[in-house]
Structure 1
Amino acid sequence: MGFCFIPVIRSLSKASFGILFLFFLTCFCFPSSTEAYDALDPNGNITIKWDIISWTPDGYVAVVTMNNFQQYRHIAAPGWTLGWTWAKKEVIWSMMGAQTTEQGDCSKFKGNVPHCCKKNPTVVDLLPGTPYNQQIANCCKGGVLSSWAQDPTNAIASFQVSVGRAGTTNKTVKVPKNFTLNAPGPGYTCGPGKIVPPTKFITSDKRRVTQALMTWNVTCTYSQFLAQKTPTCCVSLSSFYNDTIVPCPTCSCGCRGNSSTCVESDSPHLRSVVGGKNNLAPVVQCTSHMCPIRVHWHVKVNYKEYWRVKVTITNFNYRVNYSDWNLVVQHPNLDNLTQLFSFNYKGLTPYGAINDTAMLWGIKFYNDFLNEAGRSGNVQSELLFRKDKSTFTFEKGWAFPRRIYFNGDNCVMPPPDAYPWLPNASPRQEVSLLTLLMSCFVALVFYTFA
């Protein structure tokens, strides 16, 4: 589109000019409503399932199971917290595999006192090493949940709850309301509980099938925008064929001048500033990008039939060690990934048959733990790709990733016109559609008010 709409504009009335101008301004100035949608994991969510397994004199016993169906977003320490609001005057008589953070006012009860009397209880997982008589299957992991692609066996958490004053039939039991999930901070939005067909269970000898008396599901989805207003990671680029190192964009995760949680790496007071590891607020090394995590993609070697990339993840956060970290990369040549050194790999196909997305993570007990900022605060690996002659090229930044996520958060990429280019080639000075339209708007304003 290489022209403006001035001829069309001149045929409109000035009232129409204002309407047209506001329409385009709205399109460009207001954020999309799809902030919570993740294009690389469109079906990812955490599903919470309540299965009533028996009735009691004044209520029921239920097993609550959390399944993390997110392909690459996990829940790290200090873990998840789950909350809800009771529909009636329910109380929790007892729990196994989890506990509430507060008991609430149970003064009305004489003798047998409930575990929790709060209208809106908050539940946390028990820690590893909890006595066996307080455990059930898939409990007691300190609230940590793996992502589904990385470790599906540890992407499940469960606890048992005995609920009183709740009704003793399917018709009198009411589904709780206002479910909340923090993991460990905000970011998740939970829908209402929906009654579904009762879950069926197979006995240990696999000879009999039983089923829950009543089941309801709650679905929680993640939004990076709700979790934090600023990004948490950025990407820098370099290549063997160009001396230019493209850094993370300035102020990717905040601006240095506006930050009070930034500390120089050579500061003599570093340890005193960083103190308090239980504080989740990041204290990052002072950089131009101010991100806790930087991912560097270096196009390293060009062979006759292959090409090699080195990926380095650097932790600039002095307060946080990232355990069970993962990296998601989108690149058109990932279908031809031949060998990966010192990282695990799993291909993701969010668009069906197109294999242009991969998940990378550390090897257990070797580099699955990304240390806090400092000399050992990085992990790295190399990727060897086979060339596809129909698509392979080093021109126009093709060798660099289209998108990178760290621990499920979208990282800030450099602008495409800043990518390292081949020698004797320079990016064409192309005008984007947005620039063209904005130029038209300026012309429109001048014409309207002339």
Structure 2
Amino acid sequence: MRFFVSALFFLVIFSYAATFDPLDPNGNITIKWDIMSWTPDDYVAVVTLNNFQMYRHIMSPGWTLGWTWARREVIWSAVGAQATEQGDCSRFKGNIPHCCKTNPTFVDLLPGVPYNQQFTNCCKGGVLGAWGQDPSAAVSAFQLSVGSAGTSNRTVRLPRNFTLLGPGPGYTCGRARVVPPTIFLTPDRRRKTQALMTWNVTCTYSQILARKYPSCCVSLSSFYNDTVVPCPPCTCGCQTKDNCVKSDSKILSLVGVNTPKKDNKPLLQCTRHMCPVRVHWHVQRNYKDYWRVKVSITNFNYRMNYTLWTLVVQHPNLNNVTQVFSFDYKPLVPYESINDTGMFNGLKFFNDQLMEAGPFGNVQSEMLLRKDKNTFTLKEGWAFPRKVYFNGDECQLPPPDAYPFLPNSAYQNLLSFSTFISLFIFFLIAIW
């Protein structure tokens, strides 16, 4: 019995740790189900996905939402989304439902569908932006007409086993819970209405559940050391080592090389680390009151364009960012007393798309930081980031003992040079 309790406790703690992100403690995707009207046999509901994650978004091919009905409910019609399968509707004659499956799966519609199939915040191909990047793009919604479902708050039953998929796994959804009805404003914003019944489902992301290996890595360099610290070998696993493509391969001239596959299987450029994405952090300059860093992001996947990409960096001096060139920058303050994390993303219509591997598969920026004289140092790798996330997944950093080290003679040489200049000036004054 003690062993069972201990094992259960361990599983609960592990599950919580796997989904908790210290840089975005309140981040989740909330599914809101609002019943807007009752009819003799069904109800009309609006289903809304709100992405409250600060820097993690769902990119193409978009979200997939599923659940299991509590009874024998059917979906008569859908606007703004569609079921991936109709299921067995043989028990119906004449008017056939949109979906009869006990466990339906829905996807968003693509842009450009006819007007009568559209709904507010629909038809984005399932792309769901990050809340911290663009709140207006972090919402997706569709409408359902549900039959055989009960006709009042007392008789309706909540669906179970909600699942949410992005381009791949990683999200875990909790149980549906009834919450106070949502308040809506009429189009003229002069009158408030409310849903007849509302329930919420909260889905959280775990990188451990999403993939076995990291999806990105970090390399380091500095002006004070000629050593470039690369990503460790096979950082992202070497399963595709035999299928990787050399930069001069004739395969790259074939039609369809840059076309994504349905299973999202990557086509990677041959590298030592075998990661789809590498982030490079270069300590570029050291001034009297400031220091300068160059950040580069390289895409090694020939079948992936990263749209609306985000880069999150944790470093103690980010509370003194003075200027960022060619990237947008936004401080992230997950806790009131700590301001050491920032989010970078591309400028719209300029570099907000990180193209597939090749000549254009690279974006870069520089930033100027004001020194905190109480903490700033170039010793012991202080100038390098503590954590780096790309598109919400944590990247693998090199081991600290491999960081570019500051030569022991650096400060001595600087002192000797300063002494020489002082003596030279004193000598000139004496002659004058």
Do both proteins adopt the same fold according to a TM-score greater than 0.5, normalized to the shorter chain? yes
**Matched residue of 1:263: which SS?**
coil
User: Which residue of the other structure, out of 323, 326, 348, is the alignment partner of 1:364?
Assistant: 348
User: Which residue of the other structure, out of 394, 401, 406, is the alignment partner of 2:385?
Assistant: 401
Given residue 206 of structure 2, which amino acid in structure 1 is its aligned partner?
A: S
Preserved contact between residue 255 and residue 288 of structure 1 (Cα < 8 Å) = no
Residue correspondence of structure 1 range 252-291 to structure 2 within 5 A: 252-255=235-238, 259-272=241-254, 274=257, 276-279=259-262, 280-291=264-275
Count of residues paired in the alignment: 398
CA distance in 1, matches of 2:114, 2:400: 55
Percentage of identical aligned residues = 70
**Matched residue of 2:136: which SS?**
helix
Structure 1 residues 102 and 196, CA gap change in structure 2 (3 angstroms): same
Preserved contact between residue 324 and residue 368 of structure 1 (Cα < 8 Å) = yes
In structure 1, list runs of 5 or more residues that go unmatched. 1-26, 427-450
Structure 1 residues 417 and 209, CA gap change in structure 2 (3 angstroms): same
Question: Are 1:378 and 2:362 an aligned pair?
Answer: yes
How far does the alpha carbon of each residue in 1:171-205 deviate from its partner, in whole angstroms, 9 at most, with x for none? 11000011000112111000110011111112223
Shift of 1:111: 1.1
CA distance in 1, matches of 2:92, 2:15: 51
In structure 2, list runs of 5 or more residues that go unmatched. 1-9, 411-432
Preserved contact between residue 129 and residue 135 of structure 2 (Cα < 8 Å) = yes
CA distance in 2, matches of 1:125, 1:134: 11
Shift of 1:353: 2.5
- Partner residue, 1:433: none
Shift of 1:271: 4.4
Preserved contact between residue 145 and residue 156 of structure 1 (Cα < 8 Å) = yes
- Partner residue, 1:214: 197
How far does the alpha carbon of each residue in 1:359-411 deviate from its partner, in whole angstroms, 9 at most, with x for none? 00000000001011111110000010011111111111000000000000000
CA distance in 1, matches of 2:22, 2:300: 27
Shift of 1:234: 0.1
Structure 1 residues 31 and 412, CA gap change in structure 2 (3 angstroms): farther
CA distance in 1, matches of 2:47, 2:326: 37
- Partner residue, 1:423: 407
Shift of 1:425: 6.7
- Partner residue, 2:325: 341
How far does the alpha carbon of each residue in 1:241-264 deviate from its partner, in whole angstroms, 9 at most, with x for none? 0001000111110137x6343221
Residue correspondence of structure 1 range 237-316 to structure 2 within 5 A: 237-255=220-238, 259-272=241-254, 274=257, 276-279=259-262, 280-316=264-300
Given residue 367 of structure 2, which amino acid in structure 1 is its aligned partner?
A: L
CA distance in 2, matches of 1:221, 1:271: 41
- Partner residue, 1:411: 395
CA distance in 2, matches of 1:410, 1:196: 33
- Partner residue, 1:68: 51
CA distance in 1, matches of 2:261, 2:356: 14
RMSD between superposed Cα atoms in Å: 1.8
Residue correspondence of structure 1 range 426-441 to structure 2 within 5 A: none
Moved more, 222-231 or 266-275: 266-275
Preserved contact between residue 278 and residue 299 of structure 2 (Cα < 8 Å) = yes
- Partner residue, 2:211: 228
Question: Are 1:327 and 2:331 an aligned pair?
Answer: no
Residue correspondence of structure 1 range 16-35 to structure 2 within 5 A: 34-35=17-18
Question: Are 1:47 and 2:30 an aligned pair?
Answer: yes
Given residue 326 of structure 2, which amino acid in structure 1 is its aligned partner?
A: S
Structure 1 residues 271 and 171, CA gap change in structure 2 (3 angstroms): farther
Question: Are 1:174 and 2:157 an aligned pair?
Answer: yes
Preserved contact between residue 258 and residue 302 of structure 2 (Cα < 8 Å) = no
CA distance in 1, matches of 2:243, 2:348: 32
Shift of 1:288: 1.2
**Matched residue of 1:70: which SS?**
coil
The TM-score, its normalising length taken from structure 2, stands at: 0.89
**Matched residue of 1:173: which SS?**
coil
User: Which residue of the other structure, out of 317, 325, 340, is the alignment partner of 2:301?
Assistant: 317
Preserved contact between residue 333 and residue 341 of structure 2 (Cα < 8 Å) = yes
Structure 1 residues 105 and 237, CA gap change in structure 2 (3 angstroms): same
CA distance in 2, matches of 1:269, 1:421: 41
**Matched residue of 2:33: which SS?**
strand
Structure 1 residues 377 and 193, CA gap change in structure 2 (3 angstroms): same
Preserved contact between residue 69 and residue 159 of structure 2 (Cα < 8 Å) = yes
Shift of 1:325: 0.5
**Matched residue of 2:250: which SS?**
coil
**Matched residue of 2:17: which SS?**
coil
How far does the alpha carbon of each residue in 1:306-347 deviate from its partner, in whole angstroms, 9 at most, with x for none? 110000000011110111111000000000000000000110
- Partner residue, 1:110: 93
Shift of 1:276: 4.4
CA distance in 2, matches of 1:372, 1:98: 29
Residue correspondence of structure 1 range 87-106 to structure 2 within 5 A: 87-106=70-89
**Matched residue of 1:159: which SS?**
strand
- Partner residue, 1:162: 145
Given residue 281 of structure 1, which amino acid in structure 2 is its aligned partner?
A: K
CA distance in 2, matches of 1:33, 1:44: 13
Moved more, 305-314 or 133-142: 133-142
How far does the alpha carbon of each residue in 1:128-154 deviate from its partner, in whole angstroms, 9 at most, with x for none? 111111111111111001000000001
Given residue 87 of structure 2, which amino acid in structure 1 is its aligned partner?
A: G
Preserved contact between residue 49 and residue 215 of structure 1 (Cα < 8 Å) = yes
CA distance in 1, matches of 2:260, 2:140: 26
- Partner residue, 1:8: none
